[in-house]
Amino acid sequence: MNLRRDVFQAIADPTRRTILLLVAAQGMTAGAIAANFDTARPTVSKHLQILTECELLKQEQQGREVYYHINAKNMKQVADFIEPFRQMWEDRFNKLENIMKTYNQNNDGTKNKS
């Protein structure tokens, strides 16, 4: 029987979520990733294999080392990938605008420029 390999399976495990967080910051070798865990190296390798099969990670050969990266291609386009970052700033700036509109009303009498 074939094991289902999908995104939900990939993120169902806390170790795999941590691996995604680590690799999201920068490409890493299997050894560097394994150094973050107490678990045995083959266990980490198994997690990397599952994440790669789910196409959340991709491997890249750099000289003699293989680096794991977040697979941006699986996100259809880069714009999807940076959307949460854009949304974070959208939320912050919306808040800023609302706060300052209130601030302006409260200070209208004292520093109204005509």
Partner 1 sequence: MEQKTKVNAEDGKQDLLITREFDLPVELLFKAYTEADIVEQWMGTKVIKLEGKTHGSYRFETSDANGNIVFSANGVIHEFTPNTRIKRTFEMENAPFGVQLEVCEFEKLTEGTSKITIHTIYESAAQRNGVLKLPFAMGINMAHSRLQDVMNKLNKQL
Enumerate binding residues for partner 1 (CB under 8 A).
8, 11-12, 17, 20-21, 24-27, 70, 78, 81-90, 92-97, 99-101, 103-104
Q: Report the residue number, 8 or 38, with the smaller CB distance to partner 1.
A: 8
**Shortest distance, position 27 Cβ to partner 1, whole Å:** 7
Whole-number minimum distance, CB 76 to partner 1, in Å? 13
Strands 28-29 and 57-62: unpaired
Residues near 87 by beta carbon (within 8 Å), at least 6 away in sequence: none
Distance in Å, CB of 114 to partner 1, minimum: 11
Nearer to partner 1, 40 or 101 (CB): 101
Tally of helices (H runs) and strands (E runs) in the chain: 5, 3
**Do 69 and 22 touch, CB atoms closer than 8 A?**
no
Q: Tokens 């003699």 map to which residue?
A: 64
Which CB sits closer to partner 1, 40 or 100?
100
Amino acid at 23: V
Task: Go through the chain and tell me how many residues it has.
Answer: 114
Min CB(85)–partner 1 separation in Å: 5
